[in-house]
Structure 1
């Protein structure tokens, strides 16, 4: 047992190579000792990312900034001799929680509209409809899959059928707060309860708009660094 262990240790220090059919083989499995690489520093805003890059804190030149999604931006170096990259900083957006395709009761929905969406005309119309519903049943008479009606307060003391707006153009907080939130269309539906839901209706086109907005913000904020050839931005 001891003899076999000693022979094994000796073999470790005497790795041989062989050529067979033009290919080179080793007598032992070898493991590459890779060069060290940096792990990304985490920030939660585009302004934090810009401040770090402007400071040149780590003394790194030639960084590429990759806008990988509406909520993620990463800065990294070219590949090293091992074809690995060092990732120096990552920005992840903080956005309020809102679940599309989920039914909310009217009180929750009212709060979400005010806290998770940028104020615009359609949002204000929806707040008036949702905030003035008088009874639990949603009137589906004449519902063609698009238009609905609810019984709601239409004045100080009057009650009447109010048409539910549909589709609606809204600007939910879905990307970094430093840039303009993309406006897109949603299907707004209500059902007995009463409860409300929003369904995305733009096929995800808003994501491309958000990434363009992020790129524009970074290009303006880092104009001198880009002009000097220190930074490249891709989306």
Structure 2
């Protein structure tokens, strides 16, 4: 009898699937988990990494009393992070939290009229020496004075106002290093090189910033997001951070 009882107890700890009251449950270490349910449950929608960390530390244990013992934080991109379960018995995952950064719509690789370009620079870029230079040139350029300078396809020359009655010719700076708001605010915004171009138009002067790093900033941002989450969730053995 004792032997049979011990075997029964050991058997309860083994992974298995049982039907209880018409519903199937997957047992892992004695913890029941509904099989095939919650696939249609809507994930929690968040917008900051801080709120994700707070949920994992404070609320997830209560919400997922019968859930998978281990969870995965997947850094999908520079603006998206997901909290998902490991595979259940159906080789499926549950999405628990979906975090999408609220970032401004920065218009790049496209010419803008002078005023909207300056407003974008003021409101969507972190202050830096190169930002100040770009705004000075873009904000004071004289109409119809932009000209190609040299033959490398990058250098340009323009006439800008330097005082109430003074003007001078300047070389349009290139490349410029700027930090637009394009990822979660909890991590450092990525500084990348841009090609700054200007051209004459019928309505005055148009300006544009063209990305010059081939998108490498996105990989750096994903790495920094993962590093931030690993530091904030240090010591939580049931959480893995992947990027």
What TM-score does the superposition give when structure 1 sets the normalisation length?
A: 0.80
Alpha-carbon offset, residue 143 of structure 1: 5.3
The yes-or-no answer on 1:181 pairing with 2:189 is: yes
Q: Is contact 1:139-1:151 (8 Å) kept?
A: no
Secondary structure at 1:215 match in 2 = helix
Provide Cα deviations, 1:127-167, integer angstroms capped at 9, x if missing partner. Answer: 11111112234122535311111111123421011111111
Report the equivalent of 1:134.
Answer: 142
What TM-score does the superposition give when structure 2 sets the normalisation length?
A: 0.78
Q: d(CA) in 2 for partners of 1:150 and 1:96?
A: 30
Q: d(CA) in 2 for partners of 1:191 and 1:70?
A: 32
Report the equivalent of 2:105.
Answer: 97
Alpha-carbon offset, residue 184 of structure 1: 0.8
The yes-or-no answer on 1:170 pairing with 2:178 is: yes
Secondary structure at 1:192 match in 2 = strand
Report the equivalent of 1:213.
Answer: 224
Mapping 1:53-68, distance limit 5 Å: 53-55=56-58, 56=60, 57-59=62-64, 60=67, 61-68=69-76
Q: d(CA) in 1 for partners of 2:208 and 2:152?
A: 17
Across the two proteins, how many residue pairs are aligned to each other? 199
Q: Select 1:196's aligned residue among 207, 216, 234.
A: 207
Any stretches of 5+ residues in structure 1 without a counterpart?
1-33
Secondary structure at 2:188 match in 1 = coil
Q: Is contact 2:143-2:200 (8 Å) kept?
A: no
Q: Is contact 1:152-1:160 (8 Å) kept?
A: yes
Q: Give the alignment's Cα RMSD to 1 decimal.
A: 1.5
